[in-house]
Structure 1
Amino acid sequence: MNVSYDDSEQSDHFDSLSSSPVSQDESFHSTFLPLSDELDAIFSDVPKNLNIVHINAQSIPAHYPDLLAAFGSKSVHVVLVSETWLKPCLTSTSYSLPGFQLVRNDRIVRSGGGIAIYIRSHIPFSVVDVSPPSSSSEVAQHLFVELSLSHTKILLGVFYSPSLRVDYFSALEKTLEDLTPLYSHTILMGDFNTCLIKKDSRSLRLRSLIDSCNLNLLPLNPTHFFPNCAPSLLDLIVVSSLNHIAKYGQCHADAFSFHDLIYLSYKIRPPRPKSRKYLLQRNFSGMNIDALKQDAISTDWSVIEAAEDVNEKVRLFNTLLIKLFDKHAPVRPVKLKHAPAPWLTDELKSLRDKKNAAKSKFKLDPSDKNREKYKILRNRCNTMCRDAQRRHIHKSVQNGDPAKVWKFLKSIGIGRTHNDPITKDINIDLLNKHFSTTVALDGLTKTSTLNQLSALPTPDYPPFKFSQVSDCDVKKNVLSIASNAVGSDTSFLQYGRMLK
């Protein structure tokens, strides 16, 4: 479904702006169009707007290849995710999207749940509010961030309720009442697990909540199509300003779940992406060491001894050294690349597409034959992806360098983890004011403090002495440093090791 707003239309005509249901044949054929191509087509006429999508992933780890395939396009700026199924032991780098930053709010008890936001790396943001962890799995989750776009700050949130039994209305209303007055633009999307097709107490409470917070609910067709069950409208888009809506709607996302993907194009321009980074490197692999040493021998190093100032000696030494390496291993630009899933081959991508097509067919025609065909392809795809990941891990840890092995293992979540809890944004102005303000102390307090310090016993430490070292000791210790860090003078220890 694709719904567009005309600036000339008034907001009181908003409820009439819903598209007609798509025919079964049209829907069937559209499911076989890759989701990335469909999103490119949807946002092709609004590339300068802020384009946001929401999916119910039902496990990012299980659908990571589908996630990479769906959101490789640059037309999407923010991806909101419900049911991530991520746990604190799973690192964000293991499930990253190239060009995005990942913000998470995991469910720490039992399985399932969890929400996340993938934000383009060039879009400044800060975390505003996060639902606290709970010992119960029957608790709704939310995550709000502040986006800084074109001198405008937007409140963007994702919401997830795990079931129809969760009474989240009062807590959500209080959160929105606290946050929305601080922003001129608010966008909230998610899986609310409250079917708005029904005219029951839950749907009435949710509609009343949205109205009381001066927000607008965008009309959508049913978004959840479980086989042999009545369609339901669970995934919602809530905004504060109707005038800034360029288009919104929904499309199938069968690769992830039986929930539709919902999308919104908002008339605020995000910042331009930064140019792709290049790294300046020297290629030592093809360098002739013997020729390098021969040129080093023929170099006139006496100018260093003639210099009177030690800083001048260092500058001359560094200049001569870099001149040697510029000749034998010149600096060249290297484009930085990120391969989030190097094990994902073309064969696996083809099998993944066949699995998704089989699921789409089963969704439209939930017969036993289609169900069995989908299960066979799903199990085969999962097995082949798992085996490919294992081969990649085995190949990576076969490297004899322990530092590289541990770096790789930490990247996939093995080893000691560093807790990085999401905290509320800190007011930098108040922080600076606290440390820059002089504290006024009365004379009595000063005298008491000085008396306490003077009464402390003097520590009995052995005397500090300098010991003489030889040139060989200096050389030995310098060459024992394993770091490959490059200094501000573009020189590093590897140069000396090659010439020793």
Structure 2
Amino acid sequence: MDKLNFSHFNVRSLCSNFVAFRDFVVDGQFDIFGLSETWLSEKIASSSLTIPDYNIIRSDRIGRGGGTAFYIKKCYKFQNLELPASESGLEQLWISIKINGKNICFGTLYRPPNVNLLGCLTDLENSISTFLPSYDMLVFGSDFNVDLLTNNNSKIVLMNFFEKYGLHQTVKVPTRITNSNSSLIDIIVTSCSDMITDTETLLMDDISDHCLVTCKVNVQRKTAGVRFSTFRDYKNFNLVEFDHDMYNMDFDKIFVLHEVDDIVNHFTKLVTYLFDKHAPYKKVRFTKPPAPWITTNIKFMMRLRNKALTKFKKHKTEAAWQDYKQLRNLVTSI
């Protein structure tokens, strides 16, 4: 498989039009289908919401309304990613799938309109700061109840947040259309815009007043080109032996030569012989792509971050969590 279909849909009560929704999913052969506003509760069994050849996972709101869920084709092995309890009211559900050597993190999110946006973005920051360093790609569908067709403060805050983490919003047309107005509130966001194609919105009037947003994720396996690098190998370099051989080299000949080119050539020949003997050239084959952005300082900060996480797991204190969170966010930003 070269492309994987990912969709998000604010279903506004999964039970109300489940038969129509089930038939739509089966006919469309969707791979991963994220839902928001499922309006499910613990009284509704998942067995009553099954779709042939799909697994369902869900996260119901405690109380009326809300809720998120995923339908994932059974041919994909996935992992349900656990998150700390939300303090803001942001509803989010995340899974990971490894396909064709790519480790991809998918999310489905919903922000109730009466919940503070900044608080939700803080919770989202905690999630993506954890996921971005650990996965090759992050994709999530959401309804933040922020209209991206208007230039209000909420839109500016949300788009600045995406820019901060190098995230790209791919939906460009209205996703909720009424007799009086149209708005773009259902979105697909990714960390790798070059791997997202065919973003579409589909009217779903018989199920919900929200449009379905869908895209294709390029999961084609890419074989890294083989690279060769040649360098001097100092692994077995012995400074004492090097000094001894250098002391016994015939440097005196330099003083009997008259032409500058001859002097330089003789000196170069002697030094090259020394290094060829004590630090010979080595040719190494590389298959992994280079990662020049992972500098020595970043590696050092990663070690500090990992130590802070180990400390938090051991002591489980709020101070340890804040130390780890600060280092984690700093490493991700850098």
Q: Name the TM-score class by shorter chain.
A: 0.5 to 0.7
- For residue 161 of structure 1, report the CA deviation from its aligned partner: 0.9
1:88 aligns with 2:38: no
- For residue 227 of structure 1, report the CA deviation from its aligned partner: 3.4
Quote the Cα distance in structure 1 between the aligned partners of 2:115 and 2:89. 10
1:182 aligns with 2:134: yes
Give ranges in structure 2 of 5+ residues lacking alignment.
222-334
Please state whether the residue corresponding to 1:154 is helix, strand or coil.
strand
Q: Which structure 2 residues correspond to residues 28-43 of structure 1 after superposition, within 5 A?
A: none
Contact 2:106 2:138 survives alignment (8 Å): yes
More strand by share: 2
Contact 2:8 2:188 survives alignment (8 Å): no
1:252 to 203, 206, 213: 203
Contact 1:220 1:250 survives alignment (8 Å): no
Quote the Cα distance in structure 2 between the aligned partners of 1:166 and 1:264. 29
With 167-176 and 92-101 compared, the bigger mean Cα shift is at 167-176
Quote the Cα distance in structure 1 between the aligned partners of 2:95 and 2:106. 5
Quote the Cα distance in structure 1 between the aligned partners of 2:27 and 2:2. 14
**Structure 1 match to 2:116:** 166
1:266 to 192, 212, 217: 217
- For residue 166 of structure 1, report the CA deviation from its aligned partner: 2.9
**Structure 1 match to 2:69:** 116
2:27 to 54, 73, 86: 73
Quote the Cα distance in structure 1 between the aligned partners of 2:9 and 2:69. 10
Counterpart of 2:164, as a letter, is S
2:96 to 146, 166, 182: 146
1:215 aligns with 2:167: yes
Give the TM-score, by structure 2 length: 0.62
**Structure 2 match to 1:197:** 149
Quote the Cα distance in structure 2 between the aligned partners of 1:261 and 1:182. 29
2:107 to 157, 160, 165: 157
Please state whether the residue corresponding to 1:163 is helix, strand or coil.
coil
Quote the Cα distance in structure 2 between the aligned partners of 1:232 and 1:172. 23
Please state whether the residue corresponding to 1:65 is helix, strand or coil.
helix
Contact 1:107 1:133 survives alignment (8 Å): no
Number of aligned residue pairs: give it: 219
**Structure 2 match to 1:52:** 6
Quote the Cα distance in structure 2 between the aligned partners of 1:227 and 1:187. 32
* Larger Rg computed on CA atoms: 1
Quote the Cα distance in structure 2 between the aligned partners of 1:48 and 1:74. 17
- For residue 48 of structure 1, report the CA deviation from its aligned partner: 4.1
Contact 1:55 1:253 survives alignment (8 Å): no
Deviations 1:141-192 (A, max 9, x none): 0011111111221010001011154321222122212221211111011111
**Structure 1 match to 2:185:** 234
Please state whether the residue corresponding to 2:57 is helix, strand or coil.
strand
Give the TM-score, by structure 1 length: 0.42
- For residue 231 of structure 1, report the CA deviation from its aligned partner: 0.8
Please state whether the residue corresponding to 1:72 is helix, strand or coil.
helix
Please state whether the residue corresponding to 2:162 is helix, strand or coil.
helix
* Pair 213,106 (structure 1): closer, same or farther in 2 beyond 3 Å: same
Contact 2:17 2:207 survives alignment (8 Å): yes
Counterpart of 1:194, as a letter, is V
Quote the Cα distance in structure 2 between the aligned partners of 1:253 and 1:103. 22
Quote the Cα distance in structure 1 between the aligned partners of 2:186 and 2:82. 21
Contact 2:86 2:123 survives alignment (8 Å): no
Quote the Cα distance in structure 2 between the aligned partners of 1:174 and 1:142. 12
2:85 to 132, 144, 157: 132
Please state whether the residue corresponding to 1:155 is helix, strand or coil.
strand
Quote the Cα distance in structure 1 between the aligned partners of 2:134 and 2:211. 31
**Structure 2 match to 1:369:** none
